[in-house]
Amino acid sequence: MSKGNIGVTSDNIFPVIKKFLYSDHEIFLRELISNAVDATQKLKTLSSVGEVKGDLGDLRVRVSIDKNKKTLTVSDHGIGMTAEEVDKYINQIAFSGAEEFVNKYKDKTEAIIGHFGLGFYSAFMVSKKVEIFSLSYQEDAKAVHWSCEGDPEYTMEETIKAERGTDIVLHIDDEFSQYLEDATIEGLLKKYCKFLPVEIAFGKKKEWKDGKEVELDEENIINDVNPAWTRKPSELKDEDYDKFYHELYPMQFEEPLFHIHLNVDYPFNLTGILYFPKIKSNLDVHRNKIQLYCNQVYVTDEVENIVPEYLTLLHGVIDSPDIPLNVSRSYLQSDNNVKKISGYITKKVADKLMELYKADKEEFAKKWDDIKMFIQFGMLTDEKFYEKAKDFALLKNLDGKYATLDEYKAQVKDAQTDKDGNLVLLYTNDPDAHYTYIERAKAKGYDVLLMDGELDVHCMSQAEQKAEDNKLRFVRIDSDTIENLIKKEDQAKDTYSAEQKEGLRKAFENLLPSAEDKLRYTVTCEAAAADALPVFLTQNEFMRRMKEMSAHQQGMSFYGQMPDSYNLVVNTAHPLIQELAAKESSEQVNEEVEKDGKKETEVKTVYKLEGEDEKIKQLIDIALLASGQLKGEALAKFVNRSVDLLNG
Ligand code: ADP
């Protein structure tokens, strides 16, 4: 037996391992199993180049728990280690055995995992003692037993071991007794090892029989060794992709909309499958995240720094040995490979969407509502994606017809260009609430878009800013009279003087139900159209949009705090209003004004409208009612007043 100290520069590496190295204790299992799989893959490589002769036999990696001895064992039938190798690879931990191997078998090493740094030593995070029993594949090799109790001292001796390979035995610390529970270990294996390339067995298969769980003879295999992303796209059918989706997310019952198979080997190595889910709510997004693998070893589902943010809405897997692991998040962001990967994925996703769009526009349109949020998010946050997506991002009108922005602009250009050359696109976010406005727009031969998505307002602003001629405007159908929204040369005019209109305006303003309403509603007189409502509400597009956008953005709370405000338009083109105007009485008043520093009296004509209060109140209420803003007591008063009016 030999004794020695583990060759590290610092006095004692173990407290460091325990406390600081890994905040996630559970990854020790991933590390040990990765080593076992690695050793197995190496054996296969050696066999394929003829350095290991004969049948390799059973290559399963087995994980087992001994509750009495309080041990957890990971066993493999891989290449094993000689005493020299244990000394070199385990005792001299600064030395990376993987690196040497990779250099030797450069072009055969795709499947070799060498990424996890201090892998083996992570076992000490949860163990008070770790033992290695190993028998190398080399001819005449002697088995070795290594043991260490979590301090720099170890023992190493010859031992007897019948089968080639390595057993790592962990004597689990009392405070980590959860790692002696079947359920915990099975859970971790399912999380980290589900798609490893070598079969991982844990206990026996179980089955429910007569209300009881019984163990079968068959071993319980945790993983699928050939997950879909490692196979050639040409070998896979749509059903295979769907099946794999459910393997990835067993709790997801909905089918994905479509998938993208990623496969690059230059300038970095990356495979994977991304799925477009039906995004119903934010909840789905957070539950099924993209999983990141490194040579089929699960690494994380925190991929925020590796794929662009909007792509995190997708589901699926990315597998790349080129993504540096176990490094800080900020480092990841600045890593060149990571940047390239992110750019590549963006391009691939955009190209696939374009391909789907071109192949079958109708089919694409059918899926649009489900993928819209994702695409809009991408367009708003990634310039490169915007450039591609603008050619397949769709708008939907109230008839349920879809078109790209360019197509739509061409369709409505003739009717909806105003006298100043602005192309005005009308939209609603609530067709029921805006019914009367929509009818008026349609009567003029205009088209109305449905924009009820969470990101629509942002996208409209973006499209306006991107419009080269700066002449594109999106306006919500209730933001002004339709005549004002799309101003034409032959606009209707009224014949009233400014004073007369002011009298009319005041008469309405004075009868707004409460002081609060006087702040909320700005009364204006305008000649809309004879067949429009006599009085109606509009809401300024700019103010409303700022308010809506501030709900999503920081630093815009100023707008968010503003109360909702509306215009109450008194339509002087309407016969009822003309009737009222005719009843105005005028008088001449002397008014003191300052002119060039001197006080002067000016004679002014002032109009008043008296004795029409009930009618005016009724008209105001009709406008409020038409916009869904007449409620409670005001609504009751309106109803009673209506009955009185009918009673004559
Ligand atoms: P890494 O795997 O990153 O090299 P580890 O500390 O996990 O770091 O392992 C160090 C070395 O020990 C490995 O490179 C390998 O040569 C050897 N080793 C560890 N576990 C096994 C095993 N189960 N079978 C054979 N060799 C192993």
- Which residue has its alpha carbon closest to ligand 1 atom 13? 97
* Domain end (from 326, 357, 388): 357
Does residue 612 sit within a domain? yes
Asked if residue 183 has pLDDT above 70, the reply is yes
Q: Are 420 and 390 in contact (CB under 8 A)?
A: no
- Among the residue ranges 211-220, 236-245, 512-521, 531-540, the one predicted with the least confidence is 512-521
Residue 79 CA: which ligand 1 atom is closest? 25
Dist. CA 16 → ligand 1 center (Å): 20
Same domain as 129, residue 16: yes
Sheet holding 297-300, edge to edge: 258-264, 270-276, 315-319, 291-294, 297-300
Which one of 87-101, 149-163, 220-234 scores highest in mean pLDDT?
Answer: 220-234
DSSP line for 583-605: T-EEEEEEEEEEETTEEEEEEEE
- Report the pLDDT value the prediction gives residue 326, as an integer from 0 to 100: 54
- Report the pLDDT value the prediction gives residue 11, as an integer from 0 to 100: 43
Of all residues in the chain, the percent with pLDDT exceeding 70 is: 87
Same domain as 252, residue 112: no
Asked if residue 106 has pLDDT above 50, the reply is no
Helix or strand holding residue 5 (H, E): strand 2-5
Does residue 366 sit within a domain? no
- Report the pLDDT value the prediction gives residue 110, as an integer from 0 to 100: 34
Q: Are 537 and 477 in contact (CB under 8 A)?
A: no
Pocket test for ligand 1, best of 120, 122, 156 (most atoms within 8 A of CB): 120
Cβ atoms < 10 Å from Cβ of 541: 18
C-alpha dist (Å) from residue 278 to 273, 282, 429? 16, 11, 21
Same domain as 502, residue 606: yes
Pocket test for ligand 1, best of 38, 124, 135, 294 (most atoms within 8 A of CB): 38
Asked if residue 103 has pLDDT above 60, the reply is no
Does residue 451 sit within a domain? no
Same domain as 202, residue 249: no
Does residue 427 sit within a domain? no
Dist. CA 137 → ligand 1 center (Å): 15
Pocket test for ligand 1, best of 30, 33, 35 (most atoms within 8 A of CB): 35
Does residue 380 sit within a domain? no
- Among the residue ranges 100-104, 171-175, 211-215, 563-567, the one predicted with the least confidence is 100-104
Pocket test for ligand 1, best of 59, 75, 89, 294 (most atoms within 8 A of CB): 89
DSSP line for 236-261: --HHHHHHHHHHH-TT--SPPSEEEE
- Report the pLDDT value the prediction gives residue 350, as an integer from 0 to 100: 93
Dist. CA 195 → ligand 1 center (Å): 20
- Which residue has its alpha carbon closest to ligand 1 atom 10? 89
Q: What is the mean pLDDT of residues 365-372?
A: 90
Q: Which of 395, 571, 567, 535 is nearest to 472 (CA)?
A: 395
Residue 119 CA: which ligand 1 atom is closest? 7
Does residue 83 sit within a domain? yes
The C-alpha atoms of residue 558 and residue 547 are separated, in whole angstroms, by 9
Dist. CA 49 → ligand 1 center (Å): 21
Domain count, the chain: 3
Dist. CA 120 → ligand 1 center (Å): 6
Same domain as 169, residue 238: no
Identify the CATH number of the domain in which residue 163 sits.
3.30.565.10
Q: What is the mean pLDDT of residues 485-491?
A: 81
Q: What is the mean pLDDT of residues 629-639?
A: 91
Same domain as 265, residue 199: no
Residue 96 CA: which ligand 1 atom is closest? 4
Cβ < 6 A, ligand 1 pocket:
31, 35-36, 39, 76, 78-81, 89-90, 96-98, 114, 116-121, 166
- Which residue has its alpha carbon closest to ligand 1 atom 18? 35
- Which residue has its alpha carbon closest to ligand 1 atom 3? 117
How, if at all, do strands 200-209 and 61-66 pair?
parallel
Average pLDDT, the chain: 86
Identify the CATH number of the domain in which residue 254 sits.
3.30.230.80
The C-alpha atoms of residue 268 and residue 255 are separated, in whole angstroms, by 31
Q: Are 468 and 423 in contact (CB under 8 A)?
A: no
Does residue 521 sit within a domain? yes
Confidence of residue 252 (pLDDT cuts 50, 70, 90): confident
DSSP line for 290-355: PEEEETTEEEES--TTTS-GGGGGSEEEEE-TTS--SS-HHHHHH-HHHHHHHHHHHHHHHHHHHH
Same domain as 201, residue 237: no
Residues facing 130 on adjacent strands: 148, 170
Q: Count the alpha carbons within 13 Å of 396 in the hemisphere toward its beta carbon.
A: 19
Residue with more model confidence, 563 or 26: 26
Crossing angle for the helix pair 361-381 and 456-466, nearest 10 degrees? 80
Asked if residue 362 has pLDDT above 70, the reply is yes
Same domain as 188, residue 65: yes
- Among the residue ranges 251-255, 426-430, 443-447, the one predicted with the least confidence is 251-255
Q: What is the mean pLDDT of residues 203-208?
A: 90
Dist. CA 27 → ligand 1 center (Å): 15
- Which residue has its alpha carbon closest to ligand 1 atom 17? 89
Dist. CA 80 → ligand 1 center (Å): 9
Tell me the pLDDT tens digit for each residue of 115-130.
334 578 888 889 999 9
Dist. CA 291 → ligand 1 center (Å): 25
Same domain as 243, residue 186: no
C-alpha dist (Å) from residue 172 to 149, 176, 515, 597? 11, 6, 74, 95
Dist. CA 443 → ligand 1 center (Å): 77
- Among the residue ranges 48-62, 193-207, 284-298, 436-450, the one predicted with the least confidence is 284-298
Same domain as 164, residue 88: yes
Tell me the pLDDT tens digit for each residue of 557-601.
666 676 788 999 999 999 999 999 999 999 998 888 887 888 888
* Domain end (from 311, 327, 357): 357
C-alpha dist (Å) from residue 39 to 61, 92, 210, 341, 548? 10, 18, 42, 29, 58
Asked if residue 90 has pLDDT above 50, the reply is yes
- Report the pLDDT value the prediction gives residue 448, as an integer from 0 to 100: 97
- Report the pLDDT value the prediction gives residue 109, as an integer from 0 to 100: 33
- Report the pLDDT value the prediction gives residue 338, as an integer from 0 to 100: 73
Residue 165 CA: which ligand 1 atom is closest? 24
Dist. CA 445 → ligand 1 center (Å): 74
> What range does the domain containing 513 cover?
498-526+562-643
Dist. CA 394 → ligand 1 center (Å): 53
Tell me the pLDDT tens digit for each residue of 40-74.
999 999 999 999 888 999 999 999 999 999 999 99
- Report the pLDDT value the prediction gives residue 292, as an integer from 0 to 100: 87
Residue 97 CA: which ligand 1 atom is closest? 14
Same domain as 71, residue 158: yes
Residues facing 264 on adjacent strands: 270
* Domain end (from 357, 391, 411): 357
3-state secondary structure of 397: strand
Same domain as 81, residue 43: yes
Residue 42 CA: which ligand 1 atom is closest? 25
**Which tokens sit at 114?**
């060498």
C-alpha dist (Å) from residue 240 to 247, 270, 301, 316, 321? 10, 20, 22, 14, 24
Asked if residue 415 has pLDDT above 90, the reply is yes
- Which residue has its alpha carbon closest to ligand 1 atom 21? 35
CA geometry: angle 10, 14, 15, nearest 5 deg:
95
Tell me the pLDDT tens digit for each residue of 498-550.
999 999 999 999 999 888 888 889 999 998 888 888 999 988 888 888 887 77
Does residue 32 sit within a domain? yes
- Among the residue ranges 196-210, 319-333, 432-446, the one predicted with the least confidence is 319-333
What burial letters (b/e) apply to 411-439, b meaning 16+ CB within 10 Å?
Answer: ebeeebbbeeebbbbbbbbeeebbeebbe
